[in-house]
Structures are given as C-alpha cells and as structure tokens.
Chain A
Amino acid sequence: MTLKYAWWPGCVAKGAAPELYLSMKRVAQEMDIELVELEQATCTGAGVIQEQNPEMADALNARTFALAQQMGLPLMNVCSTCQGIESMVQDKLSKRPEYLEKVNAILADEGLKCTPGLEIKNFLWVLVEDIGLDKLKAMVKVPLSGLKIGPFYGCYILRPSQILGMDEHPDRDRYLEMVIEALGAEVVDYEGKKKCCGFPILTVNRENSLTQAGNHIHEAQELDADALVSPCPLCHLNLDAQQPAAKQVTKHEIDLPILHLPQLIGLALGVPAKEMRLDHHVVSTKKLLAKVAQPAAV
C-alpha cells in the first residue's frame, strides 16, 4: 500500500542542502511513498522568529497544518528542527482552544482551518512507525555491513520529550540506532549523538558553535565511525559544511562524512550515489562509498 504524506521539505532542503530535497524524493520513489509537496507552506520559524514574535510563528505553522488537513493527509518533514517547532506549536494550539480559535479566524481568510490532532512526522518516525523496520530490512539490497555509523539526532526531534510523543513511542530516542542496524551497519555509540550541533549560534558565537560541532565529530571519529547520519539538515550544515572551520577551531584532525537520513537509506536500497547527490557535500564521501561497494569483511 502506498503511504501518502503532505510534505514540508523545509527551507534548508530547498536552499543550502539541495541534496536532501533530491535524495528524499528519490528514496520516496524507491520506497513507494507518495509525497505531495506543500508549495504554499512557509518556514516554521526554527525557534528564531519565536524569540521576537511567537504569535507570528504560531499562525504560520497553523497555516501549514491547515494546508495538510485540507488535503486530508498527515504531515511529513525531513528536519528535526521543523519537527520540534511543529510539535511545539501543535501542543500549544491544542492546549489553548481560545487561542486556536483566534488563529483560525485569521486562516479563515484563505478558507483554511487548523484542528488539533494532525499527525506530524519526521521521515525517521515514518520509517520506523509507518513503514516498519521489518519491511525496511526486506527492502535492503546492499546491506551496509562493515560500515560504522554514528547517529546524530538534532535537539528538536528529542526534546522536550513530553511534546514529541515519547510517552506513546518511548523508543523515538533510539530510532536512528534501530534504523542503522536494520540497514546492516554497526552503530557507533558516542556521547555527542543527542547533544547540540551548535548551528543555532554560528553567527552569534562562532567559536562555541564550531567547538560543539568539532567535538562531536572528533568523538565519533575516535570510535572509528565511517560517517554520521542525521535527520536534521541544520545539523548537517554545521557538521558537514562547517567541518573544515570546526577543524581549525578545535585543532582536532577531523574528516568525517555526514549523511542525510534519506541518503543512508538510499545507499542500502541500492540507489546510485550520484542520484543521492552524495557528491554535493563539503566533506568527501568517496572513502565511505568505496567501503559500501566492497563486500563485508568476514
């Protein structure tokens, strides 16, 4: 059965991480997932607009929810930050019906209405909860055995846990590890996996931001990781695009490819690396790809 979602790709997938947008589309095709892109949806605010104008961010996110609900579809994102903000706004709106009514009065101009209860899921959650790990395993054509992959979650898909459905799905803070294993790779367990990548303060305090990124990469690399995988393109920007700068700031000898979640899935599903845009990274993925091509060490 085809799974169908209203898809909010997020600003970064449509901007500085085009490889995420393209690899997600390609993997969806491979996995028989139908994604209806929300062309009319806006930025979630990423927690930044909220610092100055939380009400504006609430209204814009409610509008995105309403656009998905108009199509009668659950909402999928490919960004931990989008997930966190969307879950936060949804929590706020569902707890404050009078406020939601006021928001809906604004949306009514477009004939839209936001009602509580919309399913909002990052691709990671879709993989485990809607597709299922058994089915995912069955889809694997090139097991990633021999690869050591470190998970990197991104804060907003983990915290605050009470608004991220962790009561109902207590393993959501282990999904990345579960997916890595399902693809045949070995999980690299390191402390930094649930910490902050530093991206939000890159322009405010560059040194702190890059030290955070550099330390996590270094820690995983010291444990022999071949790559990190993240469901968050903002983390990807700090860990991949800023990795050379993080190397300079921390003086750690780091050189570790950072993959978007759909790219890792695509590799195991046998999608050619080129189609996953694995050449669109700042840190080269060549060494990693050479390992994937080889049969598993016995």
Chain B
Amino acid sequence: MKVKLNVKRTNPETGVNSYAKYEIDAERSVTLLDALIQVREYEDGTLALRCSCRSAICGSCSMRVDGRARLACRAKVIALTRDDPEHEITVEPMGNMPVIKDLVNDMESFWSKMRQVDPYLKPEGPEPEAEYRVSNEAMIDLTHTMNCIMCGACVSDCTVLEVDKNFIAPAALAKAYRVAADPRDDHEHDRLQKYSEYGGVWDCTRCNMCVEVCPKGVAPMDRILQLREMAIEHGIKGNAGARHTGIFTKSIEDGGRLNEVWMLPGSVGMFNVPRIMKEVPGALKMMRAGKLPIGQAIPPGFPGSHKMQGMDRVRNVIRKSASLKPKKAEVTES
C-alpha cells in the first residue's frame, strides 16, 4: 500500500520550519508510527521522533496528525486516510509546547504544570497497621485518571493554553482530580482552594478538545467539571466561575430558562463596578442591535422576574432530582 506523508520539520539550530513529503510502500496493517520509522530507517535518517513501547502504553509518540493530537502507534494509516491512497497525512509536532526538533517536543512545561498540582497523596494522622483500604466505588471512579500515560495529547490541543500559558491545562488538572478525590488524601479542601485560583479549573472553556484527543479515556474535562462540583460543595465560591454556575443554576430554578442579562453581574460580583463597566459599551451596542432581552431586566429570584410557563411542574422536577445524587464513596478502616 502506498502511504503519503507530509511531515513538519524543524531545524534545531536555526528554528526554521519546513514540510517534507515522503512516499513509502507499506503493509495495509501499518500504523503511522511504523510508517514514520520506515521513513527514518530507509528514506531520511535525519527525521527525529520519539517512541518506545509501540503499544499505547508509554505515551512517547504523541504528535499532531491531520490537525489533531494522536499517539502515532495507535493510529492505523488506513483509518487516517479512510483507505484513500492519495490522502496525504500531515504530521506535525504537538502544539502548545516548544519543538526541539521535527516531531520532538520539549515537555518541560507539561511536567512543571504536573508538579504545580502536588500530584501525590498526602494522608494525615497515624498510619494504619497494614495497608490503606479504599472502597471499590472510590477506586472505580478514579480508574479514568489512573489510565493517564502522560502523553501530552490533551495539552497539545488545549484551546485555552493556546491563548494563556498560565492555564494549568487538562493533564495536570485530571491528575489534580485523581489526588483530590482519593479518599486517602487529607488535603482536599486546600487543594480545591488552590485549583480554583486563576489558571485553574474555572479557566477551562469546556470545549471537549482534551476529551476528544485523549487516547486513554481519561476525559480530562470531565475531571475538571468534577473538581468544580467538589469545590462548590466545599464552599469555595468566591470566584467568578463558581458564582457563574450559581447564578446560572438559580436562573433556571427561578424561571426555567436562562436570564442572560444577569449572568455578568451575577458572575463577576454585583458590586464589581470596574469589571461591569467594561461591558457597558458592548451592552449598548447590543441594545442598539435589538439584542438585549429587556424582558430579563429583573434578576432571578426577585418578584416579577422572567419565567416560562408551567414553572410549578419544572420546580417539581428540580426538587425531586436531588434524589438522583449518588452517595459518596468513603475510605474504610483497615
């Protein structure tokens, strides 16, 4: 089978980028990694890439393939090309991290963000005589995050990190959940406080990119949402993100549909005048375009606020939905 590759090359000395085209003959069962190794061995010995296990275990061969991060060892060429031999596969190094050479990234920022979340358990009190024992339920919940192989795919394609290098980013926040939600850790509150700061869980846009590209089902964004839920349960609500969730939920409980007008003051703080003032020119433009919903002028929860019809039935559903909440898994004494 013919395989066409278009590989981004970076010269480490000059930093100059270019694209090199390769065409090889390979078996139909070939993975992208097999194809790249074949290029390196027989076509161009200067091509640099990282790999080790070739079995999606070590996480070394993450790269961008046709615009999205993947493990090269897990990507079958026929799947990437939809079995079209004329489809040229574009291969680039991961995004959001500096390139050392060709398909090799400098992962230092990945590791420093990982260290930033204290990625180890910190139990307090006397050690048990034997091992720490944890319920099955608690461990099942953590198996997603324990599957992380630190490949960097989620960090590569994170759309927030692209505009803000301060964001802790998906991999480290998934790890943060793994330690904060482990019943053996005794610093849950401090952790949640720290993770709720600028650059933490509330800066995620929930774009699902990390969920999409993660090769191991860690679903980092879902873990970020769980951290948000935990932070709110811990009463850590003094930030725009938690307030946003609060006013949004209140708006639906009150009127069934979103009160858009009050989202901003409700999130940034009702008396945060400098921040609210920033939105005034925009609000005026929206008003001029007939886009400011005047029917939502009264804040949720106040008499006369906007409500959809049949709110009594909606309230009944909301009230009773509390019974759907799962019970918390606990650490058991050994």
Contact = CB atoms under 8 A, between A and B. Distances in A.
A80 to B, nearest CB: 11
B278 interface: yes
A200 B252 contact: no
A60 B317 contact: yes
Contacts of B252: 42-43, 45, 49, 56, 60
Nearest to A39: B309
B128 interface: no
B245 A204 contact: no
B164 A208 contact: yes
B324 A241 contact: no
A48 B245 contact: yes
Given A11-B257, A52-B229, A215 B163 contact: yes
Contacts of B219: 160
A207 B191 CA distance: 26
A292 interface: no
B67 interface: yes
B322 interface: yes
Contacts of A155: 205-209
Interface string A215-255: 10000000000000000000000000110110000000000
Contact of A196 (B207, B256, B316, B320): B207
Nearest to A45: B252
Interface residues of A, number: 68
B310 A40 contact: yes
Given A42-B308, A48-B249, A14 B257 contact: yes
Given A160-B208, A208-B160, A59 B317 contact: yes
A58 B322 CA distance: 11
A94 interface: no
A77 interface: no
Given A99-B324, A155-B208, A203-B268, A241 B318 contact: no
A63 interface: yes
Nearest to B231: A51
Interface stretch (B50-58, B119-127, B143-151, B286-294): B286-294
Q: Looking at chain B's contact residues, is the secondary structure mostly helix, strand, loop, or mixed?
A: helix
Contact of A204 (B267, B310, B313): B267
Interface stretch (A23-31, A106-114, A262-270): A106-114
16 contacts: A18-B291, A40-B308, A51-B225, A55-B321, A58-B321, A63-B314, A84-B208, A106-B317, A109-B313, A110-B313, A110-B316, A110-B317, A196-B159, A199-B205, A241-B291, A245-B281
Given A47-B206, A212-B162, 17 more contacts: A12-B260, A15-B258, A15-B296, A16-B291, A40-B310, A42-B256, A51-B225, A52-B245, A53-B321, A99-B324, A102-B324, A109-B316, A109-B317, A160-B211, A204-B240, A208-B167, A282-B282
Interface of B: 67, 159-160, 162-164, 167, 198, 202-209, 211-212, 219, 225, 228-229, 232, 239-241, 244-246, 248-249, 252, 256-258, 260, 263-264, 267-268, 275, 278, 281-282, 285-286, 289-293, 296, 308-310, 313-314, 316-318, 320-325
